[in-house]
């Protein structure tokens, strides 16, 4: 979802999507999101304890959020090289690690 939500901003910076109407940007983003959802929905279905998987609903959500934030950090670092990490970002990542720890207790 990160690429679907923020990828069009990079295309705009590269002067590729400047003339696209808003509906074009939405369709582009949904095309990317469809691919991502087609992977995530089956993974959640397989991983959920109600379907024989090892994870509770809360655990699946925390895993998804952590993965999303890691992917966002990588995409922001690669595509938007002007974005820098600061001490408060590191503190937020430490809180995420704590969240994962506590949700898996």
Question: Hey, is 78 helix, strand or coil?
Answer: helix
Model pLDDT, residue 84? 78
Return the CA Rg of the chain: 17
Mean of the pLDDT values across residues 39-53?
A: 93
Residue 70's pLDDT band, with cuts at 50, 70 and 90, is confident
Model pLDDT, residue 87? 92
The mean pLDDT value of the chain amounts to 87
Residue 32 has pLDDT above 90, yes or no: no
The pTM of this model reads: 0.72
Residues 101, 66: contact at Cβ < 8 Å?
no
Closest of 60, 5, 46, 45 to residue 28, by C-alpha: 5
């Amino acid at each position: 979802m990160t690429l679907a939500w923020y990828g069009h901003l990079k295309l705009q910076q590269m002067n590729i999507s400047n003339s696209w109407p808003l509906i074009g940007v939405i369709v582009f983003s949904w095309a990317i999101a469809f691919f991502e959802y087609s992977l995530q929905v089956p993974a959640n279905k397989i991983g959920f304890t109600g379907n024989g998987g090892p994870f509770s609903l809360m655990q699946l959500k925390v895993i998804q959020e952590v993965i999303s934030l890691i992917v966002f950090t990588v995409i922001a670092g690669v595509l938007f090289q002007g974005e820098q990490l600061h001490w408060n970002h590191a503190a937020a990542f430490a809180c995420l690690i704590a969240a994962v720890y506590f949700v898996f207790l």
